[in-house]
């Protein structure tokens, strides 16, 4: 069952951290997920899954022994995902991405192969951005990838400069076949 647009927008009005008027399009999801190799068992961490457009796409493609740890700050979305995406490879936490290390310890999981993130870094203050991006690099395997996406108008100070501080390679592209267009990053540890 999909969350209706009306329900999605109702959540958006109440919670500015959702920050996007629509879920990422199928093309956007494909573009970002094409940067992952899903042919082997992987541990993926997802920040801000909301209604699960990435989560469901990935669950259809990862191996039986892979897992996804999803961390969602909005309780309605976390509850929705828990209720509607029942798969033993998925672990959903209603929590802040800044608690990623404790969540991995709790599951005796990690390090991760990939972290994907839809959270709006522009709304975080500088110390929270730095903290989340540093912790993300720490929970990844060597050569693991962090794949955050943002709306296209984000400034380098919102994310790119922090990625360059903690990752050895940072690629950055615009993806226009999404509304609104996205700025997609690929940061390799
Ligand atoms: C722009 S939406 C992206 C939703 C979905 N991944 C997509 O692509 O359609 C951002 C999501 O991040 C969540 N979020 C915002 N700040 C967060 C944080 N610090 N930790 C975890 N989730 C957060 C919001 O509640 C919202 O569901």
Structure confidence at residue 1 (pLDDT): 55
Structure confidence at residue 164 (pLDDT): 97
Q: Is ligand 1 within 6 A of the CB of residue 50?
A: yes
Structure confidence at residue 154 (pLDDT): 85
Q: Block means of pLDDT (10 residues each) for the chain, length 189 residues? A: 74 78 90 97 98 97 98 96 95 97 93 97 94 98 96 88 97 90 95
Structure confidence at residue 17 (pLDDT): 81
Which atom of ligand 1 is the closest one to the Cα of 28?
8
CB 170 within 8 A of CB 178: no
CB 145 within 8 A of CB 187: yes
Q: Is ligand 1 within 6 A of the CB of residue 187?
A: no
Structure confidence at residue 26 (pLDDT): 94
Residue 62 belongs to domain spanning: 5-188
* DSSP one-letter string for 74-139: -HHHHHHHHHH---TTEEEEES-GGGHHHHHHHTT---EEEEEE---GGGS-HHHHHHHHHHHHHH
Please tell me the total count of domains within the chain. 1
Q: How far, in Å, is the centroid of ligand 1 from the Cα of 160?
A: 18
Task: Report the C-alpha gap between 180 and 63 in whole angstroms.
Answer: 31
User: Cα torsion for 110, 136, 122, 21, to the nearest 10°?
Assistant: -20
Q: How far, in Å, is the centroid of ligand 1 from the Cα of 63?
A: 25
Q: Is ligand 1 within 6 A of the CB of residue 53?
A: yes
Which atom of ligand 1 is the closest one to the Cα of 119?
12
Residue 96: give its domain's CATH number.
3.40.50.150
Q: How far, in Å, is the centroid of ligand 1 from the Cα of 19?
A: 8
Q: How far, in Å, is the centroid of ligand 1 from the Cα of 118?
A: 5
Q: How far is CA 59 from CA 63, 79, 87, 92, in A?
A: 8, 18, 8, 13
**Vertex 25: Cα angle to 16 and 170 (nearest 5):** 80
């Amino acid at each position: 069952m999909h969350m209706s647009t009306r329900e999605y927008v109702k959540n958006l009005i109440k919670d500015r951290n959702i920050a996007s008027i629509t879920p990422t399009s199928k093309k956007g999801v494909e573009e970002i997920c094409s940067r992952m190799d899903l042919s082997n068992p992987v541990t993926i961490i997802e920040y801000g899954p909301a209604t699960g457009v990435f989560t469901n796409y990935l669950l259809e493609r990862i191996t039986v022994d892979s897992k996804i740890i999803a961390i969602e700050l909005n309780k309605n979305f976390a509850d929705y995902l828990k209720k509607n995406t029942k798969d033993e490879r998925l672990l959903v936490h209603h929590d802040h991405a800044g608690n990623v290390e404790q969540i991995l310890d709790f599951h005796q999981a990690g390090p991760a192969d990939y972290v994907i993130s839809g959270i709006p870094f522009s709304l975080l203050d500088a110390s929270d951005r730095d903290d989340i991006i540093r912790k993300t690099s720490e929970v990844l395997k060597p050569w693991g990838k962090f794949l955050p996406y943002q709306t296209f108008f984000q400034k380098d100070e919102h994310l790119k400069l922090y990625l360059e501080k903690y990752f050895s390679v940072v690629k950055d592209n615009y993806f226009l076949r999404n509304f609104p267009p996205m700025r997609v990053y690929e940061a390799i540890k």
